[in-house]
Amino acid sequence: MGRPVSFFITTFFLCIFFIACRSNTESVSARTNNSGFHETPIKALPLPLIFDTLSAQTREITRQLDQFYATQVKAGFNGSVLIGYQGRIIYERFYGYANREARITLDHNSSGQLASVSKTFTGAAVLYLWEHKYLDISEPVQKYLPEFPYPNITVKMLLNHRSGLADYSHWYLAHTDDFSTPITNAVMLAQMAKYKPLLEFKPNTRFKYCNTNYALLALIVERVTEMTFPEFMNKYFFGPLGMEHTFIFDPKAGLPSYATISYDRNWKRENVMFADGVYGDKSIYSTTEDMYRWDQSFYRTQLLSNETIEMAYGPCSFEKPGVKNYGLGWRMLCFPNGNKVIYHNGWWHGNNTSFYRFIKDNLTIVVLGNRFNNGIYRQAPKIFSILKGVPVQKGFDSED
C-alpha cells in the first residue's frame, strides 16, 4: 500500500522524544507584598488555528484516521478529537452527541468536562504565582492554609503527588450522610482540619496520585491572589489565551448550553454529587480547539518561562522502576533511550479525556469523551502508531 504516512510526517517522527528526563530543584523566596496580588494579565493575541486541509500528506493521514475512528464509533466512542502539529490542526472530528435527549450533536464549540486534565491548569497556576514570586513551592502548605493540619507537607508535594494525603472523595463520605449536595474546596479543608484523616504514608517518601492535592492547590491560589479560582483562571489564563469556551463548573449555576452532558455507558445521565463542587482536581470544561490553544501557549511561553516549563516537565519520583513518572502537574513517560511523552488523562463520571503532547516535535493529540468509554485512553497511542507506521511502544498504552 506504500508508505503509511507522508515523508514529512515520517521525518519529524524520526527524531521524536529526544528530551532527557531529569530532576529539577528550585529555591525561591515568596514575594512580600502588602498590597496583595496585582500582576497585569498578559495581552497576547489568541492563537490563530490554522487548518491544514489541502496537502496530500494530510489527506493520507485523514484517510487512515477516519478508518480508525469508524471502528471506535462502532465500539461506543462519543466525543471529539483533535490532532495538531506545529500550530496547525491536521485532524479534527466530532462524533455523536453533546446532548442526546435534545439531539444536539458535538461541534467545535462543545465544552466537555476535562476531569483530571484540569490538573494541568491548576499546576500551571501555582507555578505562575511561583515564577512571579507570590509563593514558594518549597514552603509548607500551612504557610498559605494555616488550618491545614499536617505541618510537614510542602506545596511541591501537592504538585507532584508525594504528600501522603488521603483522597477526599473517599474519606469525606465517612463524615456525612449527604452524598448528593456539592461541597466546596473550603468545606473539604474544614472537614480535613476537623477530622485529620490519617496520612497514607510519610510525606515525600513515594508517589501516590491523589485528588486532594489539587483541590488544596486551588485554595492556595485563592488565598494568595484574594480571588476565587475561577476568577483567577478567567482573568489570567482563559481570557488572554482566547479560550472562549473554557470555564470552571459551578453546580449552582449549572452548565451553559454549549457544554456536554455526561453519560454512562448506557446513555444514562450522570447525576451531580458532593464532589462536583470541588475544583482544581477537575471541573474545568473546555473544547478540543481551546485545549490546543492551551497546548500551544507553552511553546509560545505566554504564561510561563521556558525554565519553569522545564521544571514542570521534570520527573519527581524514582522509588519504582518503569517509564511512568509525574512532574508538577503533568504525567510523563520516560523511556530508557531518552524518549519522553508529556500527557495527562482524566476520568470523572462519564467523561474520559486524553491530552498527549510530543514536545520535541510540537505534536498534540486531544480526545474528549462524554459517554463513558475507557478505550479513549488507548486512542492516542494508536494514533501515534498510525502516524509513525510502527506498533504501539510498550508502556505507551496507559489508562492512568
Cβ(192)–Cβ(175) below 8 Å: no
Q: Answer whether residue 213 is part of any domain.
A: yes
Nearest to 365 by CA among 80, 111, 112: 80
Q: Answer whether residue 399 is part of any domain.
A: no
Q: Answer whether residue 61 is part of any domain.
A: yes
Domain count across the chain: 1
Residue with cell 510526517: 9
**Would strands 50-51 and 88-95 be described as parallel, antiparallel, or unpaired?**
parallel
Question: Which domain covers residue 53, as residue numbers?
Answer: 7-28+41-388
HSE-CB at 211 with a 13 A cutoff on CA atoms is 23
Please give the helix or strand (H or E) that residue 156 lies within, else none.
helix 155-159
Q: Answer whether residue 397 is part of any domain.
A: no
Q: Answer whether residue 312 is part of any domain.
A: yes
pLDDT at residue 56, as a whole number: 77
Low-confidence ranges of the chain (pLDDT < 50): 1-30, 32-35, 400
CA distance 116 to 143: 26
Strand, helix or coil at 389? Answer: coil
Identify the DSSP state of 79.
Answer: E
pLDDT at residue 12, as a whole number: 36
pTM value?
0.89
pLDDT at residue 394, as a whole number: 60
User: At 369, which amino acid appears?
Assistant: G
Question: Per residue in 41-70, is it b (16+ CB within 10 Å) or e — as a string?
Answer: eeeeeebebeebeeeebbebbbebbeeebe
pLDDT at residue 396, as a whole number: 62
Q: Answer whether residue 398 is part of any domain.
A: no
pLDDT at residue 5, as a whole number: 40
Q: What is the CATH number of the domain that holds 151?
A: 3.40.710.10
